[in-house]
Amino acid sequence: MKKLLWAILATAIIAGANPETCYAKKKSKKNDKKEQVKDTTAKESKYEKLIKGAKTQKGMFTLHITNDNKLLVEVPDSLMNRTFLLSSRVAATTDPKIFVAGEMTTNPFMIRFSKNEQSLFMHLVQHRNIIDENDPIAASFDKNFGDPIIKAFKISAKNGKDVVVDMSDFFKGNEKIISPMPTPTPGSSSKIKTGTYTAANSYILGAKSFPQNSEIRSVLSFTGDNNCTVTMHRSLVLLPERPMTPRIYDRRVGFFSSGKNIYSSDKDRIDYTKYVHRWRLEPKEEDREAYFRGELVEPAKPIVFYVDSAFPDKWRDIVKQGVEDWNTAFEAAGFKNAIIARDYPKDDPDFDPDDMRYSCVKYAVTDIANAMGPSYVDPRSGEILTADVIWYHNVISLVHNWRFAQTGAVDKRVRKETFDNDVMRESLRYVASHEIGHTLGLMHNMGASYSFPIDSLRSPSFTQKYGTTPSIMDYARNNFVAQPGDYERGVRLTPPILGVYDIYAINWGYRLIPDAKTPKDEIPTLDKWIEEKKDDPMYTFGAQQFPGAYDPTDQTEDLGNDHFRAGEMAVSNLKIIMKNFEKWLFDEGKDFTTIQEQYAAIVQQYNRHLRHVTPYIGGVLFKEVRQGENELPYTYLDKATQKKAMRWILNQVRTYRDWLMPADLMQRINAPTNYASSVHRYIPAYLVNPTVLFRIQEGGIIDPVKNYTLDSYLNDLIAEVFKTTYQGRKLNNIERDLQSETINQFIRYSSLKPASSGIRNLDFTDDIDLESEAFPCSHALCRHHDSEEQSFTRINMGPALSSADMAPYMTGALKKVLALYKQKRAATADSATRNFYDYQIITIEKLFNN
């Protein structure tokens, strides 16, 4: 029976005799398939859906760029609360007037990440205030110095404990903390126009990730006042868990630095300390004993600079030489082959000059006549992590004009429109070495060249050994003291390859000190090294003064320890150039563009020599001294020196037009006949500047016998400026201009209101940029170290004599001039002089009557 039933069932199934049963079975199979699909979908996680189809880069952070151009960042749980450095750099731009390719638009800053169930938080890591974690007050410190949240990202998905967030808007938007577009400051005189960010024209361009860093590129567009599209490269770099051991800064050696407020329960005050900026140069572990025995060893990680492939072949090797010249200094610190120059790699797909792992010398094709050498540090320790030299194309014209104006009278090789390669390479090597010096942590040393006796600059043996300055971090370009025939005798006309100060400074900053376990343990040795060189002026550091110099021994562009003699020799050379200007420079058939530029270089050079002497008036000598040393930190220049400077300057004002502005030459080169005439304006403005008068007054109070008193200074000033009138001689146009501008300054500070507003409101700073003086390496205030805590630039902003104090002196000066003009007016036979007196008498009397 059972066999019969199984047979019937089998026959029915085979024959398909029951359609419903067969359909039901087919339907069941279809449903099974649907269930299978449903189960597969359930297994595809939210994370997998999110990154599906995305281009993925694995590394420190896993980066995903989706098909709809979203940047998804996967942050590992293991990196929560680790410290990163975030940088923002221009990779390409349509407007180099705002920024150039390769330039950082903001100083890199430290961040860290934390999270809750909903969000990933980006914190700005504060580093200015620190404390020993074992200090009893550490708990209170932590409550008061937390790291603020600067951005929150909604968690889109999780991959285990790792979180995925959308950072598209952060990197392709105009996020304020990393925006490339400068924000106009209220009242700023900046001519740079800003644009309005346009989201529709902005997008994520690409991303790469490596074990210790992640790199993200985006295109940002701005329209409106400024139409600009810029490719931005952002780097996120994982900082070491153990920062480099810092070295405590000393103002007697010129390193860039960062400041810290150190809180402690062991001291009665907050300890403000600064750490120098330097690379982490350490011997390999197996070489440590040899290093401390005094043997030269290679560093575990050398400093490597990659030189842009855009450099012309004729300059590339000399730029690389300028980089590696610093090995001489590092050898003094115990390291060989410490700094290496390489070409951009051609076969390394990971190489990217905008990646913070690579330090580069970058060529920027713009009309900017400059170069700069910024470096970027771990703010916790001052360790330099990366650096760049931005080499603007037109620096070549700057170098050319310096060399011509400063040495053209003695070196026939520079009397041409285009220098021979060997001459240009000499100057470019200096530019490269100077900028690399900045990337190693060294500041400008503007006081270096003053240590050289003026006569030594004409000595072949001395200049061949020392060049023009003991530090290439000075602005001491070329030997303008050398006279015709000196070059043939063997006098060197250019700076040294490295100066003795540069070698000393690198040793001070980089040599490791045995048995020093803390930064403070190093101080006795560091002080000893300074003390050993204390009595040798070649090793003195002179901080850059801004905006103008008070200390005449610490200036830019000067040479030697006697600015009066140096100025006379330099002016003598400029006169030779002007006498031969057409013979040496004219090129028949060409327009006057280049010839005018070269003439402007001569005028600029002449202005430099005047400005080397003006600081002697109201001058103050600064010196870095320590408690217990039998010296003063500042002293005022004596009356005799100041009077000498006043006479020297006024003599220049009275004579420069004859040789610097010959009317026939001005006409032939299509230049205004008054091109350089502003000299007679800014000199009177300086002579009665309120800050100058304040320093004169202060010096007179301290020592009224040795120094000028304000009364005696103003009496001498009037006697010197109005000397021709006192002598009863006729006034030529130079004398009239000089006296008129001096009177204008008296009126300006008299607090008396003129009947009309025709008085020129001129201050010395109005013409401070008369020559558009270039600061090579863009170091007007070392722009890449523009934070107040990072640099030692002596800020000379005052104090100034108050208007209440100025007014009586200026009123008295006007009365004295009025009486003088009335006395001399009738006796003069020259109509132009008499008319000038009449006009000034009427003007001053109206002023008093009004």
736-753 pLDDT per residue, tens: 999 999 999 999 999 887
Q: Report yes or no: 172 and 219 within 8 Å, Cβ to Cβ.
A: yes
pLDDT in tens, 72-99: 999 999 999 999 999 999 999 998 888 8
User: Does 519 sit behind a cis peptide bond, omega within 30 degrees of 0 on the bond before it?
Assistant: no
For residue 671, the model assigns a pLDDT of 79
pLDDT in tens, 378-426: 999 999 999 999 999 999 999 999 999 999 999 999 999 899 999 999 9
DSSP state of 278: B
The lowest-confidence range among 88-92, 237-241, 266-270 is: 266-270
Give the list of residues 6+ apart from residue 116 with CB closer than 8 angstroms, or none: none
Average pLDDT over residues 631-639: 94
pLDDT score of 346 more than 80: yes
Give 243: exposed, middle or buried? Use CB within 10 Å, 0-12, 13-18, 19+: middle
**Average pLDDT value for the chain:** 88
Average pLDDT over residues 271-278: 94
Rg, the chain, Cα only: 35
Nearest in space to 326 (alpha carbons), one of 588, 85, 505: 505
Sign for the CA dihedral angle at 135, 139, 140, 146 comes to positive
In percent, the amount of the chain with pLDDT more than 90 equals 77
For residue 64, the model assigns a pLDDT of 97
Give the list of residues 6+ apart from residue 217 with CB closer than 8 angstroms, or none: 91, 204, 205, 206, 207, 231, 232, 233, 234
For residue 185, the model assigns a pLDDT of 55
For residue 846, the one-letter residue type is K
pLDDT in tens, 23-79: 233 344 444 444 444 444 456 789 999 999 999 999 999 999 999 999 999 999 999
pLDDT in tens, 762-802: 333 333 333 334 344 543 333 433 443 445 677 776 789 99
pLDDT in tens, 421-478: 999 999 999 999 999 999 999 999 999 999 999 999 999 999 999 999 999 999 999 9
pLDDT in tens, 666-694: 888 887 766 666 777 789 999 999 999 99
For residue 29, the model assigns a pLDDT of 45
pLDDT score of 806 more than 70: yes
Instruction: Please report which residue ranges of 299-345 form alpha helices under DSSP H.
Output: 313-324, 327-332
Q: Report yes or no: 222 and 181 within 8 Å, Cβ to Cβ.
A: yes
In percent, the amount of the chain with pLDDT more than 70 equals 88
Average pLDDT over residues 240-248: 95
For residue 268, the model assigns a pLDDT of 84
pLDDT in tens, 170-201: 999 999 999 998 765 555 444 455 678 999 99
Stronger pLDDT, 266 or 565, i.e. the higher one? 565
Stronger pLDDT, 3 or 428, i.e. the higher one? 428
For residue 791, the model assigns a pLDDT of 59
pLDDT in tens, 688-715: 999 999 999 999 999 999 999 999 999 9
Calpha distance 135→325 (Å, rounded): 45
Q: Report yes or no: 685 and 749 within 8 Å, Cβ to Cβ.
A: no
In this structure, what are the phi and psi dihedrals at residue 750, rounded to the nearest 5 degrees?
A: -80, -15
Stronger pLDDT, 523 or 15, i.e. the higher one? 523
For residue 490, the model assigns a pLDDT of 98
Sign for the CA dihedral angle at 123, 124, 129, 131 comes to positive
Average pLDDT over residues 586-595: 86
